[in-house]
Structure 1
């Protein structure tokens, strides 16, 4: 069942999203540096969320043991933020995080890079972020979920990359994963119709190779099957009469 939020509920999600955007766009870029490690990201995030009076949404969710996903290179999503994951020159690092504040959730992800990366890798990151924006633009009243999905898929594939198909975006609110699912591939005009005050987490995951993935023995970390590098961006948004409003993004963000 798709849960339509009240204006008061959206305001709570907006506050959570503003904090999450500051964390991902201002705080973490200072930490994801050569020689630092993923455990430091986790520690900073836990401290940040505690200071704002929030709760780390991911920690304990379906048994997940951390507040963050820190996924490096061929890791697409759900990478563990461990001390032995040391950032080195040329790494592509995706961080996914959720904050629960006053009972409501914002969910968001960014991809960073360490030191120098190739032009094709920069294109991967830029394409993933741009695909997110293309998808968000389709989140207008009267459109359907498939319009978001198709726009993301077309944009990514036209740039020569692949959208991951085994994992999708989703509704979000009091729960981390609500209806509807928001795939990053599909046909225009298909799926649930978008209505005012629907809240969605739109999150393209994009690979330099093909879209097949595998889950490692830890039961969480998901990598590209062909070991190609991947990127991941995500915004929590709300559908409004004026168009989509991004609840977890910073103004003029550039990847």
Structure 2
């Protein structure tokens, strides 16, 4: 769906709040902190900005961010008894609603000093997100995003998660169409100025296979290898992609 200038302005606001949530939690990540404490920090940003959470209560989800540690790919639930340790990697997924419009973004961060393999996984997954974003111009096709993402993964022999994908976003957090992180074999719809999508590659050190834990939310790698996840909310414009969820470091 193409958004008006007024709608895009509201989505920029939601994106800025989402970016602030991620920045505040990223700065707090260290060995010894609980994932519940990170959720509390994100809640304080929402309160300060006068925004609402689009995660809290979504399908019964109990928090305002997802905290996915090591082999957890996505949808991890923050817990008081989950304490970060040196060498972990943590994916943080956050979202906000402003004026009825949504922002959605994710980052993966190291906890203290991490292995070279973990650090490389984080960096390459971030690189793949930007490779996908660069294709988002009027006249291009939706599935070129996934083709660009998958090419990066293949160069490094990483697994590309297929069970969970990006999506349209606007007055709902998840709107049609889906945005695969791989080439599905067809070009997909032509991109139009004013459309907004959440692009979110998820890579693993192993295979693409997943399973869901007993909590009904946490998605983990089937082979136990670690994962990384990055996401931005991006508008297609005549001047190229506009990323609504950029943090202060421009990433």
| Aligned match of 1:232 | 229
CA shift for structure 1 position 197: 0.5
CA shift for structure 1 position 30: 2.4
CA shift for structure 1 position 22: 2.4
Inter-partner Cα distance in structure 1 for 2:54 and 2:21: 14
| Aligned match of 1:167 | 164
SS at match of 2:95: strand
TM-score of the superposed pair, with normalisation by structure 1: 0.96
| Aligned match of 2:9 | 11
User: Counterparts in 2 of 1:132-147, with a 5 A limit?
Assistant: 132-147=129-144
1:18–1:188 Cα change, 3 Å: farther
CA shift for structure 1 position 119: 1.1
User: Counterparts in 2 of 1:39-58, with a 5 A limit?
Assistant: 39-58=36-55
Is 1:214 matched up with 2:242? no
8 Å Cα contact 2:17/2:51 also seen in 1: no
8 Å Cα contact 1:144/1:189 also seen in 2: no
| Aligned match of 1:204 | 201
Q: Give aligned pairs, total.
A: 251
Inter-partner Cα distance in structure 2 for 1:97 and 1:226: 26
- Aligned-CA RMSD value: 1.2
1:86 pairs with one of 79, 83, 87: 83
Runs of 4+ with >6 A deviation? none
Is 1:158 matched up with 2:155? yes
Inter-partner Cα distance in structure 1 for 2:190 and 2:78: 37
TM-score of the superposed pair, with normalisation by structure 2: 0.97
